[in-house]
Amino acid sequence: MTEKERYLPYLSGTGMALIFGFSFLFTKEALDAIHPFHLLGFRFGIAAMLLLVLKLVKVIRVDYKGKDVRKLIAIALTQPVAYFIFEISGIKLTNSSEAGMMIALIPVVVTVLAVIFLKEFPKKIQVFFIGLSVTGAMFIIIMKSSEIGSSATGIIVLLLAVLCASIFNILSRKFSSDFRPVDITFAMMWIGAIVFNGIAVIQHIQNGQLGHYFAPLSNPKVISAVVYLGILSSIVAFFLVNYTLSKIEASRSAVFANLSSVTSIVAGVLIRNEPFSWYQMIGALMILLGVWGTNYYGSQSKKRRMVKKQPLFASALNKKR
C-alpha cells in the first residue's frame, strides 16, 4: 500500500464530515419555506438525475449484474430513507447546531454494533478517544440546551436517526466487498428519490396542490439548499462515506462524524453570526482530539498486525534494505 492509498480514507472521511456539517445549516434554512419530505424529494431527485447523466456519458460505471441487489435495498432503506425521515424531522423540532452535535453519538453505537456483527474489536485506548470525542459533543449539547432550551421530542427523533446511521455504517462495511462505492451511492440516491418524491406527491395530492409541486424552487433559500444537499451532501459526501467504509473499520470511519459537530459550530459562527462560547471551544477540542486518537492508534495497531503477518524471510530482507 502506497502512502497515498494509506491516507486517502482519512482525507475522504474528513471531506465527508465537513460537507455533512454544513448540511444542517442549509436544511434548517430551507425548512422555513418547504415541507421536509418535499425538500428531501428535490434533494435526492437532483442527485439521482445527475448520477444518471454521469452514467450515460460514462463518467461513472454502475454494474449490478450477478449481484444480490437485496443487500443494496437494505442499505438504502436504512440510509437515506429511514435516517433522513428521522433527521429532517428532528431538525424541524430542534436547531442545526443540536442536530450536528447529535451525530457525534454515531461512533458509540457503531462501535457496539461492529463488535456484535463484524467482530471488529477496538483497542482500549481507541475506546477512550471515542469516548472523549463523544463527551465533548455531549458537553456542548448540555451547555447549549441549558442556555436556549431544547425539545425532548426532537432529541429522541434525532437519536433514532443516529441508530439508523449506525446500522448503515455496519451494512455498508459488511457489503463493501460485494459492491463498489459508486454502486452503493447510485442505488441510495435513486431509492431515496423514489421514496421521498412519492411521499411528497401523495401529500400534494391530498392537499389539492399537485400543480404547485415545483413552486418552492422560486425561493433562493430552497434552490441553494437543493443544490448543496443534492450534489455535495448526497453524491459527493455519500461516495466519500462508502469509499471510507470500504477501506477502514466501521468504528474508525464513524468517528469522523464528530467533525460534523465542529463544522456545524463554525458554520453558525461565520454564516449566521452565532456566538462562539467557551464551552463550544472546549467541546470542539475534545472532539478533534478524539478523532485524531481513534484513527492514530487504529492505524498503529493495523501496521503491527501487517508486520506480524509478514514471512520471516521478508522481514529479514526489509532489514537488509
Q: What percent of the chain has pLDDT over 90?
A: 23
Give the predicted TM-score (pTM) of the model: 0.74
pLDDT of residue 40: 94
pLDDT in tens, 199-258: 999 999 999 999 999 999 999 999 999 999 999 987 888 778 778 877 777 666 666 766
Question: Tell me, what's the pLDDT at 147?
Answer: 64
Percent share of the chain, pLDDT over 70: 82
CA 149, CA 126: separation in Å to the nearest integer? Answer: 33
pLDDT tens string 270-321 = 776 766 778 878 887 887 788 778 767 765 555 555 445 444 333 333 444 4
End-to-end CA distance of the chain: 18
Burial of 219 (0-12, 13-18, 19+ CB in 10 A): middle
Query: Domain map of the chain by residue range?
Result: 3-320
State the average pLDDT over residues 137-158: 71
Judging by beta carbons within 10 Å of its beta carbon (0-12, 13-18, 19+), is residue 314 exposed, middle or buried?
Answer: exposed
Mean pLDDT computed over every residue of the chain: 80
Q: Give just the sign of the alpha carbon dihedral 150, 154, 160, 161.
A: negative
